[in-house]
Amino acid sequence: MSVWAVLAAAGRGERLETDRPKAFAQLNGRPLLAESLQRLEASAWIDSIVVVAPPGWEEPVILLAEELGCGKVVASVAGGESRAASVRIGVGEVADDAAVILVHDAARPLVSELVVERLLGALNEGWDGAVPGLGLPDTVKRVREGAVVETLPRGELRGVQTPQAFVATVLRAAVAGGDEATDCSSLVEARGGRVTVVEGDPRLLKVTTADDLALVESWLGGSSSDAP
Ligand code: C5P
């Protein structure tokens, strides 16, 4: 069973206020992208990696992959205007015979082997897709123009992360429609795909602000080679 990873790294990351795309913001003195790239490379489950780069940064991505010894990286392609467009471009680079595609956000540097194993285990059980999720500590309300219109049943809610893993044919069909969505799972769900949630990881935090970068750095203990 061949497993391909698509690493979505084409976001601009405006809230980080750096002079470069988010994937190249510095985390422990190296590009943010390096952390997830190295972890996916080291995964015993992943055979090949496609990086979706910020437009114009395809070459620096290849150089970074070479520098890190990431031999599983088979393509670095320019992303699109949205995450969904970037994922569609990345999925287009995946070999026809891939069995599973795992889509991950470079903005979540601390991807772990344990989460990858949980996701692939779920696909093995027959699910079309699997996503890591965490229960929500806060009560969640739907608000319109300042007024609370609904309090949602917290027990049923999950904050969903990446990586997200899918049977390759299912994901291909889901992204082909060209629809916009903030994650891949929702595209699969919309087509009737059966997706399960596995236990996520609080350290799969999505880096959005400089404070998030500092927090991830602290988890890494100042050394990017230490596992969290
Ligand atoms: O913008 P957002 O936080 O949802 O981005 C999540 C992930 O999607 C990030 O890793 C980012 O690099 C990626 N992305 C992308 N192409 C875009 C926008 C976001 O690959 N056009």
> At 227, is the pLDDT very low, low, confident or very high (cuts 50, 70, 90)?
very low
pTM (2 d.p.) = 0.95
Q: Is the CB of 82 under 6 A from ligand 1?
A: yes
Which pLDDT belongs to residue 223? Answer: 47
Which pLDDT belongs to residue 212? Answer: 96
Which pLDDT belongs to residue 185? Answer: 98
In sequence order, the 6+-apart residues with CB closer than 8 A to the CB of 206 are 105, 107, 108, 161, 212
Decide if 53 contacts 76 (C-beta within 8 A). Answer: yes
First to last CA, the chain: 29
**pLDDT, tens digit, 9 for 90 and up, residues 22-67:** 999 999 999 999 999 999 999 999 999 999 999 999 999 999 999 9
Give the max Cα distance, the chain. Answer: 53
Residue nearest to atom 21 of ligand 1 (CA): 82
Ligand 1 centroid distance, CA of 13 (Å)? 8
Ligand 1 centroid distance, CA of 191 (Å)? 23
Closest atom of ligand 1 relative to the 21 alpha carbon = 12
> At 13, is the pLDDT very low, low, confident or very high (cuts 50, 70, 90)?
confident
**pLDDT, tens digit, 9 for 90 and up, residues 55-90:** 999 999 999 999 999 999 999 999 999 999 999 999
Ligand 1 centroid distance, CA of 224 (Å)? 22
